[in-house]
Amino acid sequence: MKKTVLLVVLLTLVAFVSGAIATAPPKAAGTPAQAAPAPAKPAKLEKSSGEIKSVDAMAKSIVVAKGKEEKTFATTADTKITKGKEALKFEDLKAGMNVVIEYKKDMDKLIAVTIKVSAPKAAPKAK
């Protein structure tokens, strides 16, 4: 009889423990991917300058050349285009304008955040 009572007590204990384990929330494995994701860092802005070689009105992008290096910059509705203190529209950009662009990288695209148009450099005076 003692063995039967002991067996019943042990089986009851095992049932309660296994039930408690089954209903317990899963423990975090300690990997950051399972933890709450950290807020994304703002993209670091980079600068580039040069002369506009071409403007693509359909794609809302410009190609800027500095020496032999050419970069294509996409624009968005948030891109700020200025010439001095005057705000310009994308349609005002023309080939041959000198620009300084602050941009961010998005995968393999360069997204212009600001485009500052400057007056073309004057040709050196002949002596």
Position 101 scores a pLDDT of 95
Position 2 scores a pLDDT of 79
Q: Decide: 59 and 94 in contact? Cβ < 8 Å.
A: no
Specify the DSSP element, H or E, that contains 116.
Answer: strand 109-118
Going from the C-alpha of 55 to that of each of 20, 63, 69, 85, 98, the distances in angstroms are 67, 7, 16, 22, 13
- How far from each other are the two terminal CA atoms of the chain, in whole angstroms? 121
Indicate the fold that domain 46-118 takes in CATH.
OB fold (Dihydrolipoamide Acetyltransferase, E2P) (2.40.50)
Position 107 scores a pLDDT of 87
Q: Decide: 105 and 46 in contact? Cβ < 8 Å.
A: yes
Give the amino acid at 126. A
Assessment of whether the complete model's pTM goes beyond 0.85: no
What are the pLDDT digits (tens) for 15-70?
777 766 666 666 655 555 555 565 655 668 899 999 999 999 999 999 999 989 99
Position 27 scores a pLDDT of 62
What are the pLDDT digits (tens) for 85-123?
999 999 999 999 999 999 999 888 999 999 999 866 555
Domain boundaries, the chain: 46-118
